[in-house]
Structure 1
Amino acid sequence: MQLPCLLISLATAFLTLRPAGAATAVQPNVTATSKELTNSGSCCATLDYFLPEKVHYNSLTDLSYQTSILSYWSQQEQSLNPICIVIPTSSEDVSTAVFILDIAYKMSMSGCSFAIKSAGHTPQAGAANIEGGITIDLASLNQVIISSDQSIASIGPGNRWANVYTPLDALNLSMVGGRVSDVGVGGLMTGGGVSFFSGRYGFACDNVFNFEVVLASGAIVDANATSNPTLYRALKGGSNNLGVVTRFDVRLFQQGSFWGGTLTQAITEKQDVIDFISNFDHSATYDPYAALITNFVWDAGITLILSDVEYTKPTPYPPTFAPLFALPAVANTMRIAPLTSFTDEIALSSDSTTSEKSDLFTTMTFINSAIFMSELWDLVDATVTSLSNVTGLLFTLTFQPLPYVIYSKSAATGGNVLGLDRFTDDFVNALAVVSWALPTDDATVYAAVQQLFDTAAAKAKSMGVWNEFVYLNYAAPWQKPITGYGQANKNFLQNVSKSYDPDSLFQKAVPGGFKLATS
Structure 2
Amino acid sequence: MSALKRTLATSLALASLVYGAPNLEERTLDPICVQIASAISSASDVYYALDPLYAKGVSHWASSSSQLPNCVVEPGTAADVGIILGIVGSTRTPFAVKGGGHASNPGFSSTTGVHISMYRFSEINYDATSQTVEVGAGLIWDDVYAALEPFNVNVVGGRVTGVGVAGFTLGGGYSWKTNQYGLTIDTVTAYELVKPNGNVVTVTESSDPDLFKGLKGGFNNFGIVTKFTLQTFPQTQVWGGLITITAPHIPDVAAATAAFQANVNDPKAGIITTYNFLLGEPGISQLLFYDGPTPPAGIFDDFLAIPYFTKDIETRSFSSLVQASPSNATAGSRAIFNTVSILEYTPALLDVILNETIFWGTNLSLKTGTFISYDVEPFLPSIYTHNAQSTAYPPVRSQGLTPFNIYYAWTSSIFDSDFHDAAKASAAAVYNAALSEGQSGIVGAAIYPNYAIFDTPLSDMYGSNLPALQALKAAVDPTNVMGLAGGFKF
How high is the TM-score relative to the length of structure 2? 0.88
**Post-superposition offset of 1:153:** 0.7
Is 1:400 aligned to 2:377, yes or no? yes
Is 1:309 aligned to 2:288, yes or no? yes
**Post-superposition offset of 1:320:** 2.1
**Post-superposition offset of 1:313:** 0.7
Letter in 1 for 2:108: A
User: Mapping of 1:13-28 within 5 angstroms?
Assistant: none
Is 1:192 aligned to 2:172, yes or no? yes
The 1-side partners of 2:327 and 2:281 are apart by 16
Q: Percent identity?
A: 26
The corresponding residue for 1:155 is 135
| Contact 1:410–1:416 under 8 Å retained in 2 | no
The corresponding residue for 2:98 is 117
Three-state SS of the structure 2 residue aligned to 1:103 is helix
Quick one: which of 80, 89, 94 aligns to 1:93? Answer: 80
Is 1:68 aligned to 2:57, yes or no? yes
Quick one: which of 320, 329, 332 aligns to 2:299? Answer: 320
Q: 1:68 to 1:146 in 2, by over 3 A?
A: same
The 1-side partners of 2:423 and 2:463 are apart by 27
The 2-side partners of 1:294 and 1:163 are apart by 25
**Post-superposition offset of 1:56:** 2.9
Three-state SS of the structure 1 residue aligned to 2:382 is helix
**Post-superposition offset of 1:64:** 1.4
Letter in 2 for 1:383: W
Q: 1:221 to 1:148 in 2, by over 3 A?
A: same
| Contact 1:407–1:420 under 8 Å retained in 2 | no
Structure 1 unaligned spans of 5+: 1-36, 106-111
| Contact 2:196–2:223 under 8 Å retained in 1 | yes
Letter in 2 for 1:261: G
The corresponding residue for 1:418 is 393
The corresponding residue for 1:216 is 196
The 2-side partners of 1:181 and 1:450 are apart by 26
Structure 2 unaligned spans of 5+: 1-24
Q: 1:391 to 1:485 in 2, by over 3 A?
A: closer
Letter in 2 for 1:175: V
Q: 1:369 to 1:172 in 2, by over 3 A?
A: closer
Q: 1:353 to 1:254 in 2, by over 3 A?
A: farther
The 1-side partners of 2:95 and 2:220 are apart by 12
Three-state SS of the structure 1 residue aligned to 2:365 is coil
The corresponding residue for 1:135 is 115
Three-state SS of the structure 1 residue aligned to 2:273 is strand
The corresponding residue for 2:231 is 251
The 1-side partners of 2:329 and 2:476 are apart by 35
Three-state SS of the structure 2 residue aligned to 1:263 is strand
**Post-superposition offset of 1:98:** 1.3
The corresponding residue for 1:9 is none
The corresponding residue for 1:358 is 334
- Once the two structures are superposed, what CA deviation does each residue of 1:103-160 show, in whole Å capped at 9, x if it has no partner? 223xxxxxx11111101111232110102x1111101101101115371110101001
Q: 1:344 to 1:150 in 2, by over 3 A?
A: farther
| Contact 2:242–2:312 under 8 Å retained in 1 | yes
| Contact 2:275–2:374 under 8 Å retained in 1 | yes
Is 1:267 aligned to 2:255, yes or no? no
The corresponding residue for 1:166 is 146
User: Mapping of 1:432-443 within 5 angstroms?
Assistant: 432-443=406-417
**Post-superposition offset of 1:514:** 1.1
**Post-superposition offset of 1:515:** 1.4
| Contact 1:76–1:358 under 8 Å retained in 2 | yes
**Post-superposition offset of 1:269:** 2.9
| Contact 1:200–1:406 under 8 Å retained in 2 | yes
| Contact 1:262–1:307 under 8 Å retained in 2 | yes
Quick one: which of 345, 364, 369 aligns to 2:324? Answer: 345
- Once the two structures are superposed, what CA deviation does each residue of 1:458-481 show, in whole Å capped at 9, x if it has no partner? 33333332443211111112323x
Is 1:454 aligned to 2:431, yes or no? no
Is 1:493 aligned to 2:469, yes or no? yes
**Post-superposition offset of 1:242:** 1.2
The 2-side partners of 1:299 and 1:285 are apart by 30
Three-state SS of the structure 1 residue aligned to 2:277 is strand
Q: 1:260 to 1:194 in 2, by over 3 A?
A: same
Letter in 2 for 1:257: Q
| Contact 2:270–2:288 under 8 Å retained in 1 | yes
The corresponding residue for 1:12 is none
How high is the TM-score relative to the length of structure 1? 0.84
